Amino acid sequence: MSEVIGLFPVPFMRAPRVLAPTLVSGLVEHFIAAAGQPNNSSPNLTHTALLQPGDSELLLDVAAGITPLLSEFGALLFGERMGWSLKEMWVNVMEQGGRQAMHNHANSFISGVVYLTAVHPEARTVFMKSPGGVEFSFKNDHDGVVTGPYNAEKWVSPEPEPGDVVFFPSYLMHAVPGNPGDRRITLAFNAIPRSLDSWGYRIGFTG
């Protein structure tokens, strides 16, 4: 009997309703006016400056909800529950017609998104395989191809509800297609472990 084994899968964790509705509405009300920085991907996408948990009582509440889940997700990446710190957060406001180009997050290990509003099904976050290097590429891509986890080049995340949080490795490429619906507001974050220990070679990180 043949057996298919998925080698070295990339983890993606979804945690529903981590933030209470009152906290979600408070974040929207407090930060929507502060999201005035333009984004190069689209004139209909703006964001706040980088934020720290100590910048607002609301963000302290966000950190309290997210931090235990960072330890849980981090154990999937490094095989051990350890202390994690939120390195930075920022709020994105995407109006109708906005989009976010493919990108990943540098200088961090875990990244994530807190959904603060409902999201149009066509504007869900999309995750992609890395574009790779400069080697030649051969594909089998036509109407008869059945797409599965081993040949897909992108994956559309489940439709989120306000208060949901998703976690993924910071190197994972992702984007948001054009938003045909109402205003889409999210809070993104990056996180780092306090330290990594490789057989006595210890590296510490500070946010």
Tens of pLDDT, residue by residue over 144-175, are 999 999 999 999 999 999 999 999 999 999 99
pTM above 0.85, yes or no: yes
Q: Which long-range contacts (CB under 8 A, 24 or more apart) does 145-150 make?
A: 149/6, 150/6
Q: Which residue's entry shows tokens 């959904």?
A: 115
Q: Is the pLDDT score of 193 beyond 90?
A: yes
Q: Using one digit for the tens of pLDDT, what is the confidence trace for 57-113?
A: 999 999 999 999 999 999 999 999 999 999 999 999 999 999 999 999 999 999 999
Q: Using one digit for the tens of pLDDT, what is the confidence trace for 115-145?
A: 999 999 999 999 998 877 667 778 899 999 9
Q: Are 114 and 31 in contact (CB under 8 A)?
A: no
CB atoms within 10 A of CB 37: 13
134's CB contacts (< 8 A; 6+ apart) are: none
What is the reported pLDDT for 137? 77
For domain 13-132+139-196, give its CATH number from 3.50.50.60, 3.40.47.10, 2.60.120.620, 3.40.50.300. Answer: 2.60.120.620
